[in-house]
Amino acid sequence: MIPNDSRNPADLHTPVLLERCLELLAPVASREGAVVVDVTLGMGGHSEALLEAHPGLTLIGLDRDTEALQLAGSRLARFGDRARLVHTVYDGIAGAIKHCGFTRIDGVLFDLGVSSLQLDDADRGFAYAQDAPLDMRMDQDRGETAAEILATAAEGRLRAIFERYGEEPLAGRYARAIIAARQEAPIERSGQLVDILQAATPAAVRDQRHPAKRVFQALRIEVNSELAVLERAVPAALDALNLGGRAVIMAYQSLEDRLVKRELAERVKSTAPAGLPVELPEHRPEFRLLTRGAELASEEERGKNPRAIPVRLRAAERVRNVR
């Protein structure tokens, strides 16, 4: 339940690269009977702007966080049946589209990472700067918490999590420190974990960066299976696009962006065998890129909204149907 239903989602979150997202999606969102999926609905800022700009648009909003769905639902209620919200993880996009009565879509928007709602609610345990229960689940109704992982995972699993999802060079040292600490007392709060990591970090490293940043990122990704979900969700979203349909994807850390870049690179390649003198229609790329590399937020936006600092935006358009 939402502790205070009077909260205004617009006050809780400033959408990143809003104008650029609107610009990229406008050619498809303005189609007669267009359908766009916001697979990471969050506070509904991007969705609200799309619905306002395109009166004929139907928007499907997905989120695994029930609190976000309730807040965004209130924000988008004025659009009636044009805004259809679905409680699901975004790799469930195909099922959500079908559930809403459609077979194909014209646009899709990904705004990845942890939301402002989750970061700013200390009780969710996402932020290492605030002491809170180590939950980190985006959907608080299911799944293993960060505290449960720390309590049960073997040293090797912890090290692998920190290395793979946090790219943490001290992963082994931190895993050993956690195993030793949990023999003394359960690690149930973010403050406890920060203290353990601080104590295990050489002074020279502590002076360069906060020891908890990468570990907390890694635990969050593990708890929510974020990369596994993304690996399934991006192909499913691209497959669902009509001819001329567009995908806009914003990533906030290198692991996500690499995965997105790799999938798009595969889709914009010709499948013609090497040495074929003429490219046959069936070998032409499915998609074309709409951005040159990854686009960044402007200095002005980064100054106004610090959460825009790490964003990397990529976009593509379907130019050939494969079925």
CB 314 within 8 A of CB 291: yes
Q: What pLDDT is stored for residue 3 in this prediction?
A: 40
| SS3 state at 113 | coil
Is residue 177 situated within a structural domain? yes
Among candidate residues 194, 224, 254, the one where a domain is terminated = 224
Residues 38 and 168 occupy one common structural domain: no
* Model pLDDT for residues 159-189, shown as the tens digit of each residue: 999 999 999 999 999 999 999 999 999 999 9
Q: What pLDDT is stored for residue 10 in this prediction?
A: 58
Q: How confident is the model at residue 235 (pLDDT cuts 50, 70, 90)?
A: very high
Residues 230 and 289 occupy one common structural domain: yes
Q: Which of 115, 114, 135 is nearest to 123 (CA)?
A: 135
Residues 292 and 313 occupy one common structural domain: yes
Residues 230 and 105 occupy one common structural domain: yes
The tally of domains found in the chain comes to 2
Q: How confident is the model at residue 270 (pLDDT cuts 50, 70, 90)?
A: confident
Is residue 253 situated within a structural domain? yes
| Residue 45 assigned to a binding site | yes
Residues 177 and 230 occupy one common structural domain: no
| Residue 208 assigned to a binding site | no
Q: What pLDDT is stored for residue 234 in this prediction?
A: 97
Q: How confident is the model at residue 272 (pLDDT cuts 50, 70, 90)?
A: low
Is residue 196 situated within a structural domain? yes
| Residue 46 assigned to a binding site | yes
Look up the domain containing 300 and give its range.
9-111+226-318
The residue with tokens 């992982």 is 149
Beta strands per DSSP E along the chain: 35-38, 58-63, 83-87, 105-111, 241-251, 287-289, 312-318
Among candidate residues 224, 250, 285, the one where a domain is terminated = 224
Contacting residues for 22 by C-beta, under 8 A, at least 6 apart? 49, 50, 53
Q: What pLDDT is stored for residue 205 in this prediction?
A: 85
* Model pLDDT for residues 127-157, shown as the tens digit of each residue: 777 888 999 888 877 889 999 999 999 999 9
Q: Please say if the pLDDT value at position 229 is more than 90.
A: yes
| Residue 63 assigned to a binding site | yes
pTM: 0.87
Q: What pLDDT is stored for residue 139 in this prediction?
A: 82
Residues 76 and 131 occupy one common structural domain: no
| Residue 123 assigned to a binding site | no
| Residue 13 assigned to a binding site | no
Q: Please say if the pLDDT value at position 91 is more than 60.
A: yes
Residue 108 one-letter amino acid: V
Is residue 156 situated within a structural domain? yes
Q: What CATH number does residue 138 fall under?
A: 1.10.150.170
Mean pLDDT to the nearest integer, 99-108:
97
Is residue 274 situated within a structural domain? yes
Q: What pLDDT is stored for residue 11 in this prediction?
A: 55
Among candidate residues 224, 251, 285, the one where a domain is terminated = 224
Residues 186 and 273 occupy one common structural domain: no
Residues 206 and 127 occupy one common structural domain: yes
Q: What pLDDT is stored for residue 4 in this prediction?
A: 44
Q: How confident is the model at residue 87 (pLDDT cuts 50, 70, 90)?
A: very high
